[in-house]
Amino acid sequence: MAIYLFQIINGIGLGMIYFLIAVGLSITLGLLGFVNFAHGVFYLLGAYLTYQIAAATGSFLVAALVAPLAIGALAFVLERGVLRHTYDLPHKYQIIATLGVVLIVQELVVVGWGPLGHGVTVPEALSGIVMLGGFPYPIYRIFVVAVAALMAVGLWLLLERTRFGALVRAGSESAEMVTLLGTDVRLVMSGTLVLGAFIAAVAGVLIAPIRGAEPNMNIEALGIAFVVVIIGGMGSFTGSIIAGILIGVIQSVMSTVWAEGSQLMIYVAMTLILIAMPRGLMGRA
Amino acid sequence: MIMTNNTLRSFLLIAALVVALPFATTSNTLAATILIYGMAAMACNLLVGYAGLLSFCQGVFFGVGGYVAGIVLLDTGIGLIPALAIATVVSALVAGMIGAVSIRRTGIYFVMLTLAFSQMFYFLAYSQPDITGGDNGLNGVPRKPLDFFGLLRVDLDDNQVFYGLVAVAFLAVYWLLRRVIESPLGSTLIAIRENGTRAWAVGYDPRHYKVLAFVISGAITGFAGALDGLLLGIVPLSNIDLRMSEHIVIAAILGGAGSLFGSAVGAALLVFATDLLSEWWPRWQIILGVALILLVIFTPDGLTGIWQNLKARLGSRRKAGTPAPAGERMGVE
Amino acid sequence: MERRKFIQMTAMAGLGMGGLPLRGALAQGNAADLFMVSAFSGPFAANGKYGEMGGRLAVKRLAAEAGRPLNYTTIDTQGNVGVATRKVQEAVAQKNARIFLGGALSSEALAMSREIHKANGLYITYVGADEVTGSNCNKSTFRWSVPTYGAIHETVAPVADLHPQAKRWYTITPQYVFGEGLLNNAKDVFKAKGIEHVGNSYHSLQEKEFSGYLANAVAANADVLLILNFSQQSIDTLRQLANFGLKKKMKIVVAWSAGLDHFSTLGADICDGIYFGVQYWHQHDVPANNEFVKLCRENFKSAPTLFTAQDYSITTMAIKAIAQANSTDPAKLIPVLEALKWDGLTGEEKVRAFDHQVEKNYFLLRGKPKDKMRDADDFADVVGLGKSFVPQDQSECKFA
């Protein structure tokens, strides 16, 4: 019995990371209708930059602060240079273009850091475990949950309490309306993509000490991101949180109930939601 | 009438290209691979280009076709042609099922459903190693001879002869797909792609047509997958994974969504280019990535778009009557 | 580009050092064409890159013994079975290739083995799948690495002996056919040693999150955690279990590890105290290995990893066979190989005639703490080694 309780708690921890990975994609998809198969590379680069900066400066904290900003900047350049040309195109072209971006980034990562992965050590202050019931749980993972929660609150405040956030929410309802109101929608769009990339990069930073940085990690991240977005509902902040946690818990509990199927279950869950509740749990009707 | 003059002409041209291919590539196996992926790309185009359905589960049909043919040939005494037929039918059924569920949603949701099915079938494939060989692949698929009711036997061990079989298959598939597209079914699919609601209003149930498109596409893709298994002597797990689906879609769009032969050319280009480029630079996929981005931004209609462009330019020059001055002509290029 | 430069460097170094007896080479027969097949692009690109280094080193070192010019050509499979099979077919048809070395994946190797056998060629590989010298064996194929039987017998049994009180073992198994092979062998050894197998968690081929399975092991009160996954998955598992503080709770055994590569990625803090089973260890003190390590440090400025060592070994086998048979015809090379015995990197190595499996040592290492490391590569000590292979009466290999 205790194991199930542990798996649920562990799952919530995982889910918070999944939320961070997915929320950017959700907002981008909801506002821009832009299918970004390259979303995972922000996560990937977040992890690699963390490794590089931590190796260079010896400080995880510095890496954690600098990496997401750097990737936000990169996302801005990418959006201006490449992605914005595809907003008006049908989805299939957006997918092809972003797949192209993924190929380029993945290969460049191998050129830069080699085909094998790299490890990032857990910062000294956060290493160690606490006991949850009879089970050890890393303090670092608790830290991750805390940071994710903080980011969630920050993002919520941004969306609900700032002008930018209002524009984002309005824009996802109707981009035309926002333009008519005199705002440069393109700035809002850039901002949204950059924000999504920034958050995904934070997820990459946080995950680096847990899983290290390796050249294929964006694929898993993308899969999870889409599942969370679909289940939670495109463009929905609360949907991303609920879905993220749900997926994390399913995955974790499945490891005890039916280990082989733990990855499979999330795709089955997504399919069921897609058929029964296509707008997702919290998506607007 | 089998086909119009125009279609006959294109068909003969393509047949000529197919005959020339093994000489151009100096390799029967490479040429066969190109035609196999060409078939898969054309079948994908039926869904992506004509029916407007961006299917990311073509790999499922490709893999299922290979596995079924492989299992039938390995474990039973059934001959080559019936085995291919069984593989085709099973793939068609699987495609019908997946299609029937997936088309209940549209747009990005449809894409995600096909992605989910792709992952589910991948799981099925590697978790049943007794049936599929798991991650080792289904090994030792025998290349049984073609046997026409005991009257005529054609041994396929020679790769040149096998290429002949694949070439005939490719031309037959091309002809079939041409017929489908030029038939009322084809126009209905295009109508549904353009405006599903209107099509409904006029009395066509889009769902039936979309499922039918899936069935045809799945059948052909499965057939191609079966041929691939015979070519390699193995059905690897990678035939049914997401990457395979991605490659097929990329080939179809690279050549030009909405152009049947274009997608076959796209497949040829992809196979040939990756072969050449990987010899030269292990990081060649960067070039592919750049090509895809440039394609989307500048010529979304892929190679077909470039080809149409060239034809239009040359055509307009002829219409004007006077040849353009040399300087201007050079400027155009 | 890097590869071409390296070829130039090697060629020049080769001519400058050792000194090819050109007259001798010209007098003694045609050049031998060796084709090294591995992944140079795609997800397994490391295999090819480091493997080629080892192969070319063997070519350089044995140039004199070969008595004829050696051409070493690489073929990029891109980590794709279809590409691998096709390129082998093409090499056989167009370049008259008959001698093949390598293979990045078991699935590739099995497919290539069949093609090469059809072409009456010779194939020496190092992939792990039991079937290569088991149910899918053939006369053309030889395998250097120790498969699952040995990997388990040389890790589980010695660790059980080292810790007789640790009776409760938990396993984490990937859903590869190979993983299943490791697990089945483990269960046999458990029975023989009176170990209680308190549970097993299978996981998918793409799994990256192992916290759930680690919790299962804790819940089962395991004394020992036997990890049967490999490559990136074993790296992830180890990192996560270190984070969870499981090293203090139970002994950890990784049955199939790539050795130095992984240790460098993980770092000494994680490796400390963990048992690793490896095919090769650079510190193994035998003359052939000492020389090889020296060559690697000179040429590549680093200690050799498994990829380099295994290609060096199989290329050595091929060249020795060519020299002994004085021929490049696989029909003549195969009987020579079947009787081949030599001083290899892991000690004495010899080929078993009935299944073409090389009998060599498999090592049990234990990670050591950072302050005990004498140099940057001194991650572990050898605590055991031995040769265990499926006996002939239990083997599934029957040459057709």
B105 min Cα distance to partner chain A (Å): 7
Would residue C29 be called left, alpha or beta, if left means φ above 0 and alpha means ψ between -120 and 50 degrees?
left
Q: Is C90 on the interface with B (CB under 8 A)?
A: yes
Is pLDDT above 90 for C190? yes
Taking alpha carbons only, the member of B193, B201, B190 closest to residue B107 is B193
Q: pLDDT digit string (tens) for C334-390?
A: 999 999 999 999 999 999 999 999 999 999 999 999 999 999 999 999 999 999 999
- What is the model's pTM? 0.90
Average the pLDDT over C322-339 and give the result: 95
Contact C76 B237 (CB under 8 A): no
User: What single-letter DSSP state applies at residue C205?
Assistant: T
Supply the pLDDT for residue C29: 66
Q: pLDDT digit string (tens) for C8-66?
A: 455 444 444 444 444 444 445 689 999 999 998 877 888 999 999 999 999 999 999 98
Considering the four listed CATH numbers 3.40.50.2300, 3.40.50.300, 3.30.1370.10, 3.30.420.40, the one that applies to the domain covering C31-146+285-360 is: 3.40.50.2300
Contact C45 A110 (CB under 8 A): yes
From chain A, the residues in CB contact with C229 under 8 A are none
Mean pLDDT of chain B: 88
A267-272: long-range contacts (C-beta < 8 A, 24 or more apart)? A267/A227, A267/B116, A267/B119, A267/B120, A268/B116, A268/B120, A269/A227, A269/A231, A270/A226, A270/A227, A270/A230, A270/A231, A270/B112, A270/B116, A271/B101, A271/B113, A271/B116, A271/B117, A271/B120
Q: pLDDT digit string (tens) for C66-77?
A: 889 999 999 999
Is there a contact between B177 and B260 (Cβ–Cβ < 8 Å)?
Answer: yes
Supply the pLDDT for residue B332: 31
- Chain A / chain C CB contacts < 8 angstroms: 112
Return the sign of the alpha-carbon dihedral for residues A131, A135, A140, A142. Answer: negative
The secondary element (H helix, E strand) that includes residue B307 is: helix B302-320
Q: Two tokens at C62?
A: 């044995």
User: What CATH fold (topology level) applies to the domain C150-278+362-386?
Assistant: Rossmann fold (3.40.50)
Question: What does the alpha-carbon distance between residue B239 and residue B59 come to, in Å, rounded to a whole number?
Answer: 6
- C121: helix, coil or strand? coil
Taking alpha carbons only, the member of B178, B5, B156, B173 closest to residue B73 is B156
Contact C40 B278 (CB under 8 A): yes
Question: What does the alpha-carbon distance between residue C166 and residue C181 come to, in Å, rounded to a whole number?
Answer: 23
Is pLDDT above 60 for B2? no
Is pLDDT above 90 for C191? yes
Domain with CATH 3.40.50.2300 in chain C: 31-146+285-360, 150-278+362-386
Q: Which residue has the tokens 């691979």?
A: B33
- A109: Cα within 13 Å, side-chain hemisphere: 29
- C199: helix, coil or strand? strand
- B202: helix, coil or strand? coil
Question: What does the alpha-carbon distance between residue A42 and residue A23 come to, in Å, rounded to a whole number?
Answer: 13
* Range of lowest pLDDT (A28-37, B249-258, C259-268): A28-37
Is pLDDT above 90 for A187? no
Contact A212 C239 (CB under 8 A): yes
- Chain A / chain B CB contacts < 8 angstroms: 106
Supply the pLDDT for residue B320: 54
Q: Is A276 on the interface with B (CB under 8 A)?
A: no
The secondary element (H helix, E strand) that includes residue C253 is: strand C251-257
Q: pLDDT digit string (tens) for C274-305?
A: 999 999 999 999 999 999 999 999 999 999 99
Average the pLDDT over A99-110 and give the result: 93
Other CB atoms within a 10 A radius of the CB of residue A262 amount to: 24
A17 min Cα distance to partner chain B (Å): 21
Q: pLDDT digit string (tens) for B46-86?
A: 999 888 899 999 999 999 999 999 999 999 989 999 999 99
Supply the pLDDT for residue B82: 94
Partner residue facing B234 (CB), from C45, C83, C111: C111
Contact C81 B236 (CB under 8 A): yes
- Rounded to the nearest angstrom, the gap between the alpha carbon of residue A151 and the centroid of all alpha carbons in its chain is 12
Q: What is the per-residue burial (b if ≥16 Cβ within 10 Å, else e) of C222-233? A: bbbbbbbbbbbb
Supply the pLDDT for residue A263: 84
Is there a contact between B258 and B44 (Cβ–Cβ < 8 Å)?
Answer: no
Supply the pLDDT for residue C331: 95
Supply the pLDDT for residue B327: 40
Supply the pLDDT for residue B3: 56
Residue A201's pLDDT band (cuts 50, 70, 90): very high
Q: Two tokens at B207?
A: 């769902």
Q: Is B15 exposed, middle or buried (0-12, 13-18, 19+ CB in 10 A)?
A: middle
Supply the pLDDT for residue A175: 62
Q: pLDDT digit string (tens) for B203-239?
A: 778 888 999 999 999 999 999 999 999 999 999 999 9
Strands B146-148 and B152-154: antiparallel
Is there a contact between C319 and C70 (Cβ–Cβ < 8 Å)?
Answer: yes
Average the pLDDT over A112-133 and give the result: 87
B30 min Cα distance to partner chain A (Å): 24
From chain A, the residues in CB contact with C216 under 8 A are 3, 255-256, 259
Is pLDDT above 90 for B280? no
| Percentage, residues of chain B above pLDDT 90 | 54
* Range of lowest pLDDT (A260-264, B249-253, C148-152, C154-158): A260-264
Question: What does the alpha-carbon distance between residue C221 and residue C169 come to, in Å, rounded to a whole number?
Answer: 9
Average the pLDDT over A70-88 and give the result: 90
Q: C-alpha dihedral over A242, A247, A252, A255, to 10 degrees? A: 160
Other CB atoms within a 10 A radius of the CB of residue B203 amount to: 6
Q: Is A268 on the interface with C (CB under 8 A)?
A: no
Supply the pLDDT for residue B317: 64
Question: What does the alpha-carbon distance between residue C61 and residue C64 come to, in Å, rounded to a whole number?
Answer: 8
